[in-house]
Structure 1
């Protein structure tokens, strides 16, 4: 297949995006401050960061004592675990087709990866494409910010162009590849002889929008590309890791009482059977030290108190809890004694975390809803203006008991403030579960035994009808 050269504008756009992606992926400096790149941020999330001591790398001899603190993962996973879409609403009703597309693309599980990218790197990506096997179900994929980059128009509040860079194995060698996404066309690109060239036919889809939708965390008016959620706690995480590493070294050499012996000779540290000299560790840990010297003296120093390390780590944990608004119990190991926290105290502790989660729902909703609009446009070929009013339906990030959720939903339904479907959504039921429940309720309405039991429970009847055996 003959490669087609890119136009100058396409080449310039591709190189510009590649330069930005490379910069974001590695550590760089802004206003004399080191900004960790995506790769470093992922290392912190994965617990693979390289610990430094006072600006100097940990000496190789002590590296085996290095203890990494996983607080960035603790924070991110605590938030992501509470971000669960359960449908898309139009005119207050769940749209079954949109939810079908969601499940057909396995986004119940895969969307979590986009949320982790959004919080760790500052942005994640959802990409919409044609499904050759099912034209009515467009492909919706999660793409890594280490491979994908976009440009944003503040005026039009939309993505103007995007690109994905990756590599493929071809005849045993890695060949750089790229995909360039424009509002009306998608171009597949490969590198030949050091030059980017078009590969195959471009897809003239004429969508009128770039089929790439970023999920941006903490975008600002002067930076619409997002900021990592874990940057503010990186310094505290490293400080705690240094304290724990020092504690490891101190435990190794100071946790046991140091012993001393004066007035002894080398002959006193020989094996009585073989006459061979004992090793340093055998001499130190020997159960009995004995000598015939009348001038010999024995004794031991007090063991070092290592509790100060616990105090230091807990101080850092408290600072991280203040920044992240997570309850302190996420960072400090609780003892096995004492009363379990009450539901009220748990709710009070989690107010900050719930607020953070609701904020993240707002950040992610724009990208989710744009993704569904693009998928609908790809199927119908038309712009549905009603989809502008689409709302993402999120499960509550709070952790009420089932009894609390049911009690609140029933009361609001009884007062006419909630429909039955809204009450079920409040209880965390998905659109599919609601559909099953409504079907079962209709079936029960025609079952005389079930209807009689329901009447007794609700007080709408006094006795159940007799049933012949």
Structure 2
């Protein structure tokens, strides 16, 4: 018996709502809104105000996302980018939107990318590619084919309206639905696009996918969460100790509290206590003070927790502020970032497969079929490591070596990160130089270009000439 559109929406809505609590918990750690839950009932309510938000999860995820930049797409075995796909990327503002999708995948474990044909108000030569949050969209994946079987996107109407909207994406149809009176009303179909492509136009962007868990998992792992909670508690205790014991308290013998606190109200007595004054009624006494508490144990404990976080995440020590006072050398910095760079490369490889599938779906939407060579599509990522430009320029110049080295000029410019447009403009400038023009006239090789040695023309007269033997 075929499933109705309303049943599709209800089934996928239940799965979407079932995943939202776990997703929001991960988002709470990223936004540092986990404080009350992490402190628990063992802490007096008065001390909860002293709790500190520890932003290590945000720092860790942002450090990975900042190293994930898609530059272009090309076919395996070819160096030139595919201009058509680059134009689609720019048209959909994916330079910015892709970063949001990568970050959502790192926080929640997954995000989604949808593809659709251009509408009446869109450019007819560019498909629409949108990045979606897992809080609003859920896609059901076939465990055998690893392709999306169906997907649902839910969203609400304007503020103050009870309207709810849903987009149901099926292999041959995309259906827009609406209901006006909340959960008590039925869904009605507003529009339907029968594209007959045989594919659901949704691609999951998965993070930390496993064979036993294909939905992806958050990069904020349980050990990172527990260390963040522990650091928050240490900082809370540090503030409590600093408020009460970090400054020496003075003791005055021979005076009662009322003589110092004025009317002797509870608030004034507490104000005197917080001013580090303790009054004791004893005429034979004298004024003295207690020794201030040493807060070093809190600081050292926080440093130990930070080192555990560094071992779990691969963040360099300077990111977590427990490095030594001596500045590290460039080689030491690159060595400290090795694990973080490798993590970014792994994420680029995982996310790259999703972006390649997105571009294949975009070609399917625009052309009605996917060319065979597009299954050799590659995503070109920017180098996730952080070498200085001077170090990179020095290495590239040594390889180039004035045109007689290992790589030609064009390869050197590519390694330095110049875009295809910039390299084309540089090539025009090279051709406009007087030396290049003169070489073109006389047939001399242009500096920076590797050419095979010229073969001397055959000499017919030497065909029958006797061979000469060297003396």
**2:51 aligned with 1:62, yes or no?**
no
Shift of 1:433: 3.0
Alignment check: 8 A CA contact 1:51 1:242 kept? no
Structure-1 separation of matches of 2:80 and 2:37:
54
CA-to-aligned-CA distance 1:394-432 (integer Å, 9 cap, x gap)? 011111121332333345556776565443332222333
Q: Distance in 1 between matches of 2:382 and 2:258?
A: 76
Once residues 76 and 163 of structure 1 are traced to their aligned partners in structure 2, the CA distance between those partners, rounded to angstroms, is 27
Kept in 1, the 8 Å contact 2:137–2:151? The answer is yes
Matched, 1:439 2:424: no
C-alpha contact (below 8 Å) 1:186/1:202 kept by paired residues: yes
Residue 190 in structure 1 maps to residue 178 in structure 2? yes
After TM superposition, give the deviation of residue 284 of structure 1 in Å: 5.2
Q: Which has the higher contact order (CA 8 A, sep 6+)?
A: 1
Counterpart Cα distance in 2 of 1:250 and 1:292: 27
Q: Distance in 2 between matches of 1:75 and 1:66?
A: 21
- Given the superposition, is the C-alpha separation of residues 354 and 292 from structure 1 closer, same or farther in structure 2, using an over 3 Å criterion? closer
Give 1:51's aligned residue. Answer: 36
Q: Is 1:105 the counterpart of 2:96 in the alignment? A: no
Structure 2 distance, partners of 1:334, 1:295, is 53
Select which of 1, 6, 28 maps to 1:11. Answer: 6
Q: 1:161 to 1:301 in 2, by over 3 A?
A: same
* Matches of 1:124 and 1:110, distance apart in 2: 12
User: Which of 108, 118, 140 in structure 2 is aligned with 1:131?
Assistant: 118
Whether contact under 8 Å (1:135, 1:379) holds in the other structure is: no
Once the two structures are superposed, the pairs formed by residues 35-46 of structure 1 within 5 Å of their partners are: 37-46=22-31
Q: Equivalent of 1:377, from 351, 364, 378?
A: 364
Displacement of 1:212 = 1.1
- Mapping of residues 92-171 of structure 1, within 5 Å: 92-132=79-119, 133-169=122-158
Q: Secondary structure at the match of 2:179?
A: strand
Distance 1:53 1:352, change over 3 A: closer
* 1:88 matches 2:73: yes
**1:30 corresponding residue in structure 2:** none
Asked if the contact 1:264/1:291 (under 8 Å) is kept, the reply is yes
Contact 2:177 2:191 survives alignment (8 Å): no
Query: 2:272, 2:139 → 1: CA distance?
Result: 66
Q: 1:324 pairs with 308, 313, 331, which one?
A: 313
Q: 2:168 aligns with which of 166, 171, 180?
A: 180
Distance in 1, Cα, partners of 2:144 & 2:404 = 45
Deviation of residue 201 (structure 1)? Answer: 2.6
Residue 345 (structure 2) pairs with residue 354 (structure 1): no
Q: 2-side partners of 1:22 and 1:290: how far apart?
A: 60
Is residue 395–residue 426 contact of structure 1 (8 Å, CA) maintained in 2?
no
Deviation at 1:13, TM superposition (A): 2.8
Aligned match of 2:207 in 217, 231, 235?
217
Mapping for residues 316-465 of structure 1, pairs under 5 Å: 316-332=305-321, 338-412=325-399, 418=407, 420-444=409-433
- Normalising by the residue count of structure 2, what TM-score does the alignment of the two structures yield? 0.83
Q: Deviations for 1:328-383, whole angstroms, at most 9, x for unmatched residues?
A: 21112557xx4432111111101101110000001101111111111122222222
What's the counterpart of residue 261 of structure 1?
252
In structure 2, what is the Cα distance between the partners aligned to 1:292 and 1:306? 31
Distance 1:402 1:49 in 2: 40
CA contact (8 A) 1:261 1:297 kept: yes
Note the residue ranges of structure 1 that are not aligned, 5 or more in a row.
Answer: 1-6, 27-36, 461-469
| Distance apart, 1:25 and its partner CA | 0.8
- Counterpart among 69, 72, 77 of residue 57 in structure 2: 72
Distance between the aligned counterparts of 2:4 and 2:430, measured in 1?
A: 61
Q: What TM-score, normalized by structure 1, do the two folds share?
A: 0.83
Q: How many residues align?
A: 433
**216-225 vs 126-135, which moves further:** 126-135
Counterparts in 2 of 1:277 and 1:83: CA distance versus 1, 3 Å: same
Q: Residue 306 of structure 2 contacts residue 322 of structure 2 at CA under 8 Å; is this kept in 1?
A: no
Distance 1:285-1:136 versus aligned 2 partners, 3 A rule: closer
- Residue number in structure 2 paired with 1:31: none
**Are 2:60 and 2:315, in contact at CA under 8 Å, matched by a contact in 1?**
yes
Unmatched tracts of structure 2, length 5 or more: 450-471
Kept after mapping to 1: 8 A contact 2:150/2:168: yes
Does the 8 Å CA contact 2:54/2:232 hold for their aligned counterparts? yes
